[in-house]
């Protein structure tokens, strides 16, 4: 399963770079000293490690390539999600107050 848009884009570019160098996934894995599965995860955007990325770039002789990328900003903001969760919890726990002498909303 593919990850975030930035990870997928990075994977697509890594695949194109590997193909441009004339290597199969198996050959890249051997030269980079990583598993074929690690190369597949990297290229699919399914969550490769930084170590795998750096080893693959080294094997492809493209260490400077990473600096040329423009990765889109994350669409998910953990801070915004936390704020929304707190607000919805507060709204769910609010109970209308009844003042002394009042029995609540009038029945129709």
* DSSP label at residue 18: H
Range list of H helices, 1-108: 5-20, 25-32, 36-44, 50-59, 78-93
Cα separation of 16 and 45, whole Å? Answer: 13
Average pLDDT over residues 84-103: 72
Map out the domains of the chain with their CATH numbers. 1-93 (1.10.260.40)
100 — phi, psi (to 5°)? Answer: -60, 135
Phi-psi region of 47 (alpha: psi -120 to 50; beta: other; left: phi over 0): left
Rg of the chain, C-alpha, whole Å: 25
Average pLDDT over residues 20-25: 95
pTM, 2 dp: 0.60
- Give yes or no for residue 106 having a pLDDT over 90: no
pLDDT, greater one: 29 or 97: 29
Cα separation of 40 and 25, whole Å? Answer: 7
């Amino acid at each position: 399963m593919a990850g975030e848009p930035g990870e997928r884009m990075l994977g697509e570019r890594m695949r194109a770079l590997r193909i441009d160098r004339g290597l199969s996934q198996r050959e890249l894995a051997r030269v980079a000293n990583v598993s074929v599965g690690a190369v597949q995860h990297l290229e699919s955007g399914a969550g490769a490690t930084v170590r795998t990325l750096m080893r693959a770039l080294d094997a492809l002789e493209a260490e400077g390539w990473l600096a040329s990328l423009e990765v889109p900003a994350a669409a998910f903001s953990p801070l915004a999600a936390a704020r929304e969760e707190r607000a919805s919890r507060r709204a769910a726990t609010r109970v209308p107050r009844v003042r002394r002498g009042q029995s609540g909303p009038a029945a129709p």
